[in-house]
Amino acid sequence: MPTMKAASPTLDELRRYAIARSLFKPTTLPRAIAKLGFVQADPMRAPARAQDLILRHRVTNYRAGELEQRYARLKIEEDCFVNYGFVPRDWLPLLHPRTPRKTWDAATHERAQALLAAVRERGPTHPKSLLDEFAHHGRMPGYWGGELNVSTQLLDGLHYRGHLRVKRRDQGTRIYEAISHPEQDQSDAARLERATLLLDRVVALYAPLPSASLGYLTSLLGYGVPHLRAEARHAFSKAARTRYAHAIVDGQTWYWPADENPRSKRHAPDERLRLLAPFDPVVWDRRRFETLWGWEYKFEAYVPAEKRRMGHYALPLLWGEEMLGWANLRLDKGRLKHELGFIGARPKGAAFKLALAEELERMRLFLGCE
C-alpha cells in the first residue's frame, strides 16, 4: 500500500476538522453510536453522566438517561475499549475472548466459577442476590479507596474476561447474564488484523491525532485487548504511515482516516455554543486540546477542592471553533445553576449572551429541569 502523505493542512484547518467530524449533525441514537463507535462511560453525575453529556450533542432531542433506558433494545454492549464504555455489538469478535494480563489464583478462580455458575443457572441476575448468598467471600480494597465485597470485584472480573455481559441496568446497577464468545483464529496474521482494525476505530473516533497521542491511545488498547498489546504496537509502528493519511503540521505528524480531507471548506464551524463532557471525543486528548486551543484543560474531579483551578467537573466551553473556558453546572432543587471560567476576558456583546442562554436552555431540557 503506498504511503498516504497528504498536503499539509494548517493548525486552524485541523481545529475546524476536529470539531466538524466529531460534532456531526444530530441523528438517531443508534446512528450516533454507530458513527462514534465508542461512547466512554463514567458513573459521576455532574450534572449528568459522561455518556449522556456526549450523546446529547449528537442525538436529536436526547434526554439524560435515555441510553440506559434503551440499552437492552440497542445492538450495543458495555465493554472495555481504550476505556470503559459502550461499543457496537459487532465489535465483540475483535475484543474477545479477552485474556487479562493478571491471572487469578486457584482460590479466586474457584470462587469466580461459583458465581458464574449461579448466573448461568438463574439467567439475568441482580448482583445483590449474589452478594447475599456469597457474603462469605469477604471484602477487598476498591479501585477508588474504601472496600468492596469480593463478589462485586469477581463479577466485574468475569465481565471483563467476557464470561458475563450487562443485559440492562436497574437504577444504575448492572444486571448480568452469562455469555460465551467463539474462539478466534490465533495465527499471527489474524491477530495483527484484529489489532489493526481496532486501531482503525481509535483513529476514526479521535482523529486528527498527533503522533504522540496515537501512540498513547495504542497503549490504552492494552486495556481492551491485553492479549493483543504486542500486535497493537506493531500495527501502530508499521501500518500508521501507510494506512492513514498524515502530514507534518508545526513540527508534529498528524494522522486521520485516509478517505477524509482536513482542508475541506465543509468544516466551517457553526455559531452554536456547546458545553462538552470532559470525555467528549473533541476534548478527550489533552495533548491535542492544548495544541489546538493553546491552553491546558484539566479534569479535577479527583483533585482536592482547595487545589482545583477549574472546578469539580469543568465542562469545556466551545463557541464556534474557539474554546473560551469552562462551566461547572449543578442542580439545586430542580434548578440548573452554572459558574463560568474563562481563559481570557469574558466575551462581551449580545451574541455570546444569546448563545449561552440557548445552550443552558438545551441543558435544562436534556436534564428535565422545571
Q: What is the pTM of this model?
A: 0.93
Query: Domain ends where: 155, 178, 201?
Result: 178
Query: Domain ends where: 178, 193, 216?
Result: 178
Q: Which of 48, 86, 68 is nearest to 362 (CA)?
A: 48
Residue 321 belongs to a domain: yes
**Cis ω on the peptide bond leading into residue 281 (within 30° of 0)?**
no
Look at residue 146 and tell me whether its pLDDT is greater than 70.
no
CATH code, domain carrying 158: 1.10.10
For the segment 65-90, the average pLDDT, to the nearest whole number, is 97
Query: Domain ends where: 161, 178, 195?
Result: 178
Q: Kindly state the percentage of the chain with pLDDT values over 90.
A: 85
For the stretch 30-61, pLDDT in tens is: 999 999 999 999 999 999 999 999 999 999 99
Instruction: Please report which confidence band the pLDDT of residue 269 belongs to, taking 50, 70 and 90 as the band edges.
Output: confident
Domain span at 330: 268-367
For the segment 163-180, the average pLDDT, to the nearest whole number, is 95
- As given in the structure block, the three cell numbers for residue 5 are 502523505
- As given in the structure block, the three cell numbers for residue 324 are 473560551
Instruction: Please report which confidence band the pLDDT of residue 7 belongs to, taking 50, 70 and 90 as the band edges.
Output: confident
For the segment 246-252, the average pLDDT, to the nearest whole number, is 95
Instruction: Please report which confidence band the pLDDT of residue 67 belongs to, taking 50, 70 and 90 as the band edges.
Output: very high
Residue 137 belongs to a domain: yes
pLDDT at 177: 97
Look at residue 159 and tell me whether its pLDDT is greater than 90.
yes
Alpha helices by DSSP H, the chain:
11-22, 29-36, 50-55, 66-70, 92-95, 106-122, 127-133, 150-160, 188-206, 211-224, 229-243, 286-293, 350-367
**Cis ω on the peptide bond leading into residue 269 (within 30° of 0)?**
no
Look at residue 148 and tell me whether its pLDDT is greater than 70.
no
Residue 167 belongs to a domain: yes
Distances (CA, A) of 107 to 103, 111, 115, 127, 244: 12, 6, 13, 21, 46
pLDDT at 3: 52
Distances (CA, A) of 236 to 76, 125, 153, 250: 27, 40, 33, 22
Residue 66 belongs to a domain: no
| Distance from C-alpha of 317 to C-alpha of 357, rounded to nearest angstrom | 13
Listed in sequence order, the residues at least 6 apart from 306 whose beta carbon sits closer than 8 Å to its beta carbon are none
pLDDT at 137: 54
- How many other C-beta atoms lie within 10 A of the C-beta of residue 124? 15
Residue 12 belongs to a domain: no
Residue 48 belongs to a domain: no
Distances (CA, A) of 119 to 57, 96, 107, 115, 159: 37, 20, 19, 6, 12
- How many other C-beta atoms lie within 10 A of the C-beta of residue 358? 12
| 157 vs 144, higher pLDDT | 157
Tally of structural domains, the chain: 2
Mean per-residue pLDDT of the chain: 93
Distances (CA, A) of 181 to 89, 90, 97, 153: 12, 12, 6, 21
pLDDT at 238: 83
Look at residue 111 and tell me whether its pLDDT is greater than 50.
yes
pLDDT at 152: 86
- Cell numbers 486528548 correspond to 285
Residue 77 belongs to a domain: no
For the segment 88-117, the average pLDDT, to the nearest whole number, is 94
Residue 309 belongs to a domain: yes
Q: Which of 176, 178, 159, 182 is nearest to 96 (CA)?
A: 182
pLDDT at 141: 47
Instruction: Please report which confidence band the pLDDT of residue 171 belongs to, taking 50, 70 and 90 as the band edges.
Output: confident
pLDDT at 231: 96
